[in-house]
Amino acid sequence: MRSANRSADQTALPAVVIGTAVWLIAVVILSVEGSFAPPADGTWWWAVAVIGALSGLVGIPFLMRRRARMVAAER
């Protein structure tokens, strides 16, 4: 008997996709509007946004494969 509540493994993909999109938007904004912060501060925030976006881009395929394996295991 399956639980009616979905596990975090099943619901993580939408959150990671949204988070990655937000980080990508931040990269674009910081790249275009980089002049609003001193160089050291602007570089630091830009690097954080890039690392966040790259983490999400790596995590999305991982979560998609994991979700597919979980669905196959339920069958």
pLDDT one-digit tens code per residue, 25-44: 999 988 887 655 555 666 78
Taking CA atoms, 57 is separated from 4, 21, 64, 72, in Å, by: 30, 9, 11, 24
Model confidence at 1: pLDDT above 50: no
Range with the largest mean pLDDT of 4-8, 44-48, 53-57 = 53-57
CA-to-CA distance for 60 and 63, rounded, in angstroms? 5
**Whole-structure pTM value:** 0.75
**Better-predicted residue by pLDDT, 46 or 59:** 59
